[in-house]
Amino acid sequence: MVVHLVRDPDQVDGPLVGLVVSKAVGNAVRRNLVKRRLRGAAAQHLGTLPPDALMVLRALPAASDVPYAKLERDVARGMAKALDRATEPAR
């Protein structure tokens, strides 16, 4: 899992999250499963993001083989690290 996060002072609708799940993750059924899991994991931690956050979660091929609990922990850890690196809003 790779997490990219920037802070945009013009963003006023609250945090936005985008997902990237490439064909390297698996067939359409596998990719959709990973997307559903990522959406659920990100939704659980959305309250920890500032309202000006723009975040992208990129699933690596191994994401299709891990249990949801591990994926959720990875999302939480990645969000926390990305948030630490993006402390100031982008200009």
Per-residue pLDDT tens digits for 10-27? 877 889 999 999 999 999
Question: The CATH number of the domain where 74 resides is what?
Answer: 3.30.230.10
- Give the 3-state secondary structure of 19-64: EEECHHHCCHHHHHHHHHHHHHHHHHCHHHCCCCEEEEEEECHHHH
85 pLDDT higher than 80:
yes
Question: Has residue 43 been placed in a domain?
Answer: yes
Ranking 5-9, 29-33, 53-57, 59-63 by mean pLDDT, the lowest is 5-9
| Residue 48: domain span | 2-85
Predicted TM-score (pTM) of the model is: 0.84
The tens digit of pLDDT for each residue in 67-82 reads 999 999 999 999 999 9
Asked if the structure places residue 52 within a domain, the reply is: yes
Q: Is the pLDDT of residue 88 over 70?
A: no
